[in-house]
Structure 1
Amino acid sequence: MKVAVLDIGKTNVKVALVDMESMAEIAVLTRPNRVREGPPYPHFDIDGIWDFFLDGLRRMHAEHGVDEISVTTHGACFVLLDEAGGLACPVLDYEYDGPDTLVQEYDAIRCAFEDTGAPRLPMGLNVGAQLHWLVETFPDLRERTVQVASYPQYWSGRLTGRFATEPTSLGCHTDLWLPREGRFSDLPERLGLSMAPLAAANDIAGGVTADVASITGLPAGTKVRSGIHDSNASLLPYLHRMPGAFSVVSTGTWVICMSVNGEAVALDPARDTLMNVNALGNPVPSARFMGGREYERIKPETSAPMPADIDQVLDGRKALYPAIETGSGPFGGCAGGWSDDTMTPGQKGAALSLYLAQMTATCLDLIGARGPVIVEGPFAQNELYLDMLAVQVDRKVLISNTATGTSMGASMLCAPCAGSELHLSERHTPRGAPRLSAYGMNWKRIVKDRNTVVAIDEKPIQ
């Protein structure tokens, strides 16, 4: 069976075709995920994504054949739909700061962290804050909105005509979901909005519409799965295949750390820890930072650092300190930077990789992660990052050998028993472990001395 996965990341949009027998991606098409600046506000290029999807499905079906379709998208995105199933308003980019203008009003109605597991975040990172700002800013929007769909279910709905909401997206710091109780919070009712019906990630949303079949050449009624939040797509292959405690680090624009069967710890909203919900509907302690965005913002123009660059950084204790993206992560609200602006590009590249590993290890520690650490996505190719992470966690680090863990995980919504063997390789402790360990200890000491953690007035959640 061949599954076409529509994969929307914050930075890029992909169509990947996965052969479920070999568990290999046999075709991938990619385009940037462009944001239109407005009016009326910065919003995603929904029509451009839709045209790209249809063309990708047409090409992949013509070249290889497509048996089913699955969907995975980034979080912090919901879609307001009108009576005809069209957009009641453009789909707001969660990095727009409009919702910050109504902070006090929203804080008065949002649910407590101990109930939702969702920390209070800036801009539109809390979906509830997005929805509140929209309906208060555009007075006729409530009346025009018939239902609100989560982002993966918007796309599966557009393919089939049946829209829904789903727990992995609802559990992604939205303020809309109670993860322990498995139900909506009362926030949608307070906002005067109706949520689309609930579906599980692997539910069949329906068959493709006649229009979609005509444009793509797909057989009428080709099955479409409801869809899943992208970090949970990365986690899904391991839920039934990894015994005991383990954690998954999904890397991309966001680095999302998720702990399964780890130590029970109190989650701290001041450190951007949260309670996600996995594809089985179970709460998952999580922490994250915008590692991919930080990398793109600050990376030097030259290629990977040379061994001499790494030696000079380790011996000279040259470093990058948190945070670069200050709106989220375990050191949110704190302005960091290079310890030495005169570092060469090679030295900065080495310090950047070490920084990303230290931030990842901090996130894993905050959520009580135990057992092997599985690294998915682009950072799985960064050897210095993996070496430092292995030293800092002092546990087995396993590297996913698939190019896009999100697409592979989403494909398994169609065939959960596919790929019975996990394609993982172990990152052995490097020979320079003592030097990396000493560097890490010094980094932590300096970060602590800089008082980089900013407390907020919310209670930790057990």
Structure 2
Amino acid sequence: MSVRPVIAIFDIGKTNKKLFLFDEDYHIVYERSVRLAEITDEDGFPCENVHELGKLVLVEFKEASEQKEFDIKAVNFSGYGASLVYVDEKGKPLAPLYNYLKPYPEKLQEELYSKYGGQEQFCIDTASPALGSLNSGLQLYRIKKEQPELFGKIKYALHLPQYISSLISGQFVNDITGIGCHTAMWDFKKNDYHQWIKQEGLTSKFPPIISAESVFENHGYKVGSGLHDSSAALIPYLVSIKEPFVLLSTGTWSISLNPFDHSELTADELNKDCLCYLQYTCKPVKASRLFAGHEHEEQVKRIAAHFNRSAGEFNTLSFNNGLIPRLQQNFKQDLNPVDFTRSSGFEQWDLTMFGNHNEAYHQLMLDLVRQQRYSTQLVLKDTRVKRLFVDGGFSHNEIYMNLLAREFPKMEVCAASVAQASAIGAALVIHSLWNQKSIPGDIIGLKSYSNGSH
């Protein structure tokens, strides 16, 4: 039996922890997906069980490496951002992996902003909206101020992908895609850590920054340093598609990424939850974000409970074009003004106004897509982008995709079949170091929804 050379990729999401083996043609030949129960931190707030996550990674990697039909040449990692693991000299976690949704002390945040030029200038310099715990640099600052004893014990603060990498490589490094995603750490004009990170003595807690294209050799494997998942998800598209595009990456967050817009963020864009990501090449990517996947999940639960349905039924609903005009005409009620940076407005609907779960779900998707149009338009201004690609969960949702195409009639709107784009991106970034074949031209499959295609 011939042994196939493969790369192992850990793709650590907020909900699902996945391991893939890709062959040299980037076909998935092995896949594992596990959900871990959350625990709580010292304040009772839900958080990732970082100790169980570490054990899981090592167990899954051992099992994959024992598959006799595969020869693992390399391993890399993608993972969600805004999450720091605080480790000692041996790489052991010293504290919980604090949840990026945990409320941040307003007084502490205001103190920091006022000390370094005010909130607006601080946010413009760091290309990071004021997001509290979602600005991961502020998480470490909070520990310094509130838990000085813990701060003194911390050898390194590692973003999650680099922590997972360290479990296999034994090395502690930092990655520009992790630093450059709404962390409030990086000065985009100076291309260096922001002044506040240095003056507050936080730089000593971060290991050296290395290129995402670098690897370590350990136990015969080439081990990558890991990437932030949203930045990794862009890589297959940048490799395969040359004309300008926007990628709408959907999951818990729906993030519109425009890698062809390098203009500086304005204060108005920051206030509307726009930010900049850094590609692994250090080029900025303008992005806008919505918590749309989370809202979808919560509102589906509400609809299911009201109509006595199971949440799983909503995955198989077909698009009913005939419903749309009727919903728009019959259900025009006076909603309170909607702040699209925070909500689609669907939570204001009285579900008794809908005849069945299908109608209510179509209204939910109408509202979410209307909100998505608002968000995506923020990164389309003054650009020549004519193609909008959707990957992740909503790319498989026929109702969502048809409604999105209606909202962008002058663009080609496509569902991308690279369902594991962040994992493939993490593999592609070290392609030449493990793969003897050329990058295939069919990594991305596109299904067009434009011009009434579907």
Shorter-chain-normalised TM-score: which range? 0.7 to 0.9
CA contact (8 A) 1:12 1:32 kept: yes
| Counterpart pick for 2:363 among 336, 348, 351 | 351
Match of residue 360 from structure 1: 372
CA contact (8 A) 1:245 1:372 kept: yes
Tell me the distance in 1 between the aligned counterparts of 2:148 and 2:350.
51
CA contact (8 A) 1:203 1:226 kept: yes
Match of residue 297 from structure 2: 296
TM-score computed with the length of structure 1 as normaliser: 0.82
CA contact (8 A) 1:244 1:261 kept: no
Deviation at 1:221, TM superposition (A): 3.0
Tell me the distance in 1 between the aligned counterparts of 2:332 and 2:123.
34
Task: Indicate yes or no: 2:388 matched with 1:373.
Answer: yes
Tell me the distance in 2 between the aligned counterparts of 1:106 and 1:225.
34
**Partner amino acid, structure 2, of 1:360:** Q
CA contact (8 A) 1:287 1:364 kept: yes
| Counterpart pick for 2:210 among 191, 199, 202 | 199
Deviation at 1:82, TM superposition (A): 2.1
**Partner amino acid, structure 2, of 1:196:** P
Deviation at 1:272, TM superposition (A): 0.2
Counterparts of 1:100-249 in structure 2, within 5 Å, are: 100=106, 102-109=108-115, 112-122=122-132, 124-193=133-202, 194=204, 195-204=206-215, 206-208=216-218, 220-249=219-248
| Counterpart pick for 1:420 among 430, 441, 452 | 441
Name the SS for the 2:131 alignment partner: coil
CA contact (8 A) 2:8 2:74 kept: yes
**1:397-450 Cα shifts (integer Å, max 9, x gaps):** 2222133211111111221652333422231335499xxxxxxxxxxxxxxxxx
CA contact (8 A) 1:251 1:292 kept: yes
**39-48 or 357-366, which moves further after superposition?**
39-48
Task: Indicate yes or no: 2:421 matched with 1:405.
Answer: yes
Deviation at 1:182, TM superposition (A): 2.5
Q: 1:133 to 1:352 in 2, by over 3 A?
A: same
**162-171 or 104-113, which moves further after superposition?**
104-113
Deviation at 1:330, TM superposition (A): 4.6
**Partner amino acid, structure 2, of 1:271:** K
| Counterpart pick for 1:62 among 43, 63, 66 | 66
**101-110 or 291-300, which moves further after superposition?**
101-110
| Counterpart pick for 2:20 among 16, 21, 25 | 16
CA contact (8 A) 2:78 2:161 kept: yes
Tell me the distance in 1 between the aligned counterparts of 2:174 and 2:297.
32
Name the SS for the 2:34 alignment partner: strand
Deviation at 1:180, TM superposition (A): 3.9
Match of residue 271 from structure 2: 270
| Counterpart pick for 2:99 among 93, 97, 106 | 93
CA contact (8 A) 1:319 1:338 kept: no
**1:267-306 Cα shifts (integer Å, max 9, x gaps):** 4111100011112110010001112111111113343445
Equivalenced residues, count = 414
Match of residue 323 from structure 2: 312
Deviation at 1:99, TM superposition (A): 4.0
Stretches of structure 1 that go unaligned for 5 or more consecutive residues are 209-219, 434-462
Deviation at 1:265, TM superposition (A): 7.7
Deviation at 1:261, TM superposition (A): 1.8
| Counterpart pick for 1:7 among 2, 5, 11 | 11
Tell me the distance in 2 between the aligned counterparts of 1:373 and 1:306.
22
Name the SS for the 2:247 alignment partner: strand
Residue identity over aligned pairs, in percent, reads: 23
CA contact (8 A) 2:341 2:375 kept: no
Deviation at 1:233, TM superposition (A): 1.0
Deviation at 1:266, TM superposition (A): 5.0
Stretches of structure 2 that go unaligned for 5 or more consecutive residues are 305-310, 433-437
**Partner amino acid, structure 2, of 1:58:** K
Tell me the distance in 2 between the aligned counterparts of 1:272 and 1:322.
23
Match of residue 435 from structure 2: none
CA contact (8 A) 2:247 2:388 kept: yes
**Partner amino acid, structure 2, of 1:421:** D
Q: 1:306 to 1:276 in 2, by over 3 A?
A: closer
Deviation at 1:169, TM superposition (A): 0.9
Name the SS for the 1:408 alignment partner: helix
Tell me the distance in 2 between the aligned counterparts of 1:397 and 1:58.
41
Deviation at 1:355, TM superposition (A): 2.6
Tell me the distance in 2 between the aligned counterparts of 1:322 and 1:221.
61
Match of residue 307 from structure 2: none
CA contact (8 A) 2:345 2:367 kept: no
Name the SS for the 2:351 alignment partner: coil
Q: 1:276 to 1:199 in 2, by over 3 A?
A: same
TM-score computed with the length of structure 2 as normaliser: 0.83
Match of residue 35 from structure 1: 38
Name the SS for the 1:66 alignment partner: strand
